[in-house]
Amino acid sequence: MTDGKLTHNEVAAKLHRSASTIRDRIRRLEDDKVILGYVAMVNSERIGMNAEGVLFANMTDGAAANKLKGLSRLPGVTEVLQISGRRRVMIRLLADDNRALQEIIHREILPLGLKDAELHIVLDSVLRFPGI
C-alpha cells in the first residue's frame, strides 16, 4: 500500500482483517520503534525550492562529529550521513536556487568543521519516493 492516509478501517478491508487487529498491530510497531513516525512527502519545486545539491566533505581534524546533528536545524538540510569513501560526510540540501545553495554551504555548513567539500547539483530525480 502506498497511501499513508488510509484509516484503520480501510487497511482492514484491504487486508481482510478487523480494524482493531490493524490498530493493535500498528500500535505495537510504533511501540517497538519499527514505525518511527509519519511524514509528508513534499514536491520541493512546488514550494519554491528549485535547487537541490548533495555535498560530500570530510571533517577537519578536531571537529566533533556531533556537530553534524545540528545541521538538522538548518532550513533546506534534508539528510546528513556519515559514509565510507574519500569524503566521509554527505549532506543533501534544498534551496531556492543555486546561489542560495552555495550561501548555505559557505555560511552555515563549512564553518562547522568541514573540508574538501565537493558539491553535486541534482539535475533530475529519477526515483525519489519508491511506490509513489
| Tens of pLDDT, residues 60-98 | 877 777 788 888 888 899 999 999 999 999 999 999 999
Identity of the amino acid at 83: I
Cell of 44: 520541493
So what's the pLDDT on residue 131? 62
Q: What number does CATH give the domain 45-121?
A: 3.30.70.920
* Domain layout of the chain by residue ranges: 1-38, 45-121
- List the helix and strand counts (H, then E) for the chain: 3, 4
Q: How many CB atoms lie within 10 A of CB 76?
A: 21
Q: How far apart are CA 57 and CA 34, in angstroms?
A: 31
Show the low-confidence residues of the chain (pLDDT under 50). Answer: none
So what's the pLDDT on residue 2? 66
So what's the pLDDT on residue 80? 92
So what's the pLDDT on residue 1? 56
Q: How far apart are CA 24 and CA 8, in angstroms?
A: 10
Give the torsion through C-alpha atoms of 115, 120, 125, 130, to 10 deg. -30
